[in-house]
């Protein structure tokens, strides 16, 4: 909610740039944001070159160049590229300029802001643990 208010001026979860994946059986919620991939598949498939990498490593969408084709949504390996229907443009987490509002306003303190590589590694380990649990029998 803080994200949609920061960027759109309204409290609309669908306009947020953070996605929360629900692992119902494990009773776990995993917040996901753009990890600004080194190879940025979203930028590779963008037909108008609306998605570029800044000098600081951030992958950003230029809303003026974006034509709303949604190819980047399909290419994102983490499923975190999103689309803003009212503006007809793709969007991703821009970390609120280094001060992510989702982290600042997360009352239970469940969100943290850290290095991209560290977060991606943690997410990968979590996904591997879930896959291992699903594949191996309980006695293993």
Neighbours of 15 (CB within 10 A): 21
Name the residue with tokens 């991606």: 120
Averaged pLDDT, 15-39: 87
Residue-wise pLDDT tens digits, 48-86:
999 999 998 899 999 999 999 999 999 999 999 999 999
Q: Is the pTM of this model over 0.75?
A: no
* Residue at token pair 């992958």: 59
In the predicted model, what is the mean pLDDT of residues 81-98? 93
105 has pLDDT over 80: yes
* Beta-bridge partner residues of 109: none
83: closest CA among 102, 61, 101? 61
- Find out whether 93 and 34 touch, Cβ atoms under 8 Å: yes
Can you give the pLDDT at residue 135? 82
Residues with Cβ within 8 Å of 89's Cβ and at least 6 positions away in sequence, in order, are: 61, 63, 66, 68, 83
In the DSSP assignment, the letter for residue 96 is: G
What residues does 20 pair with on adjacent strands? 31
**CA gap 101, 84 in Å, rounded:** 19
Which one is the CATH code of 2-111: 3.90.780.10, 3.30.1370.60, 1.10.3720.10, 3.30.70.20?
3.30.70.20
The strand pairing partners of 70, in sequence order, are none
Number of H helices and E strands in the chain, helices first, is 5, 6
CA angle 79, 123, 17 (to 5 degrees): 40
pLDDT score at 136: 74
Question: Where does the pLDDT of residue 30 fall: very low under 50, low under 70, confident under 90, or very high at 90 and above?
Answer: confident
Q: The tokens of 105 are what?
A: 């306003």
- Which whole number is the average pLDDT over 117-135? 76
pLDDT given at position 116: 56
């Amino acid at each position: 909610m803080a994200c949609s208010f920061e960027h759109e001026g309204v409290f609309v979860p669908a306009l947020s740039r953070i996605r929360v994946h629900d692992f119902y059986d494990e009773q776990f919620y995993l917040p996901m944001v753009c990890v600004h991939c080194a190879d940025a598949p979203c930028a590779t498939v963008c037909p108008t070159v609306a998605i570029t990498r800044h000098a600081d490593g951030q992958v950003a969408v230029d809303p003026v160049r974006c034509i709303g084709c949604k190819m980047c949504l399909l290419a994102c390996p983490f499923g975190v590229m999103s689309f803003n229907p009212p503006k007809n443009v793709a969007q991703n987490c821009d970390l609120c300029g280094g001060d992510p509002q989702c982290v600042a306003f997360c009352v239970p303190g469940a969100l943290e802001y850290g290095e991209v590589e560290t977060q991606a590694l943690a997410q990968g380990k979590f996904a591997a643990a879930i896959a291992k649990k699903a594949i191996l029998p309980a006695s293993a």
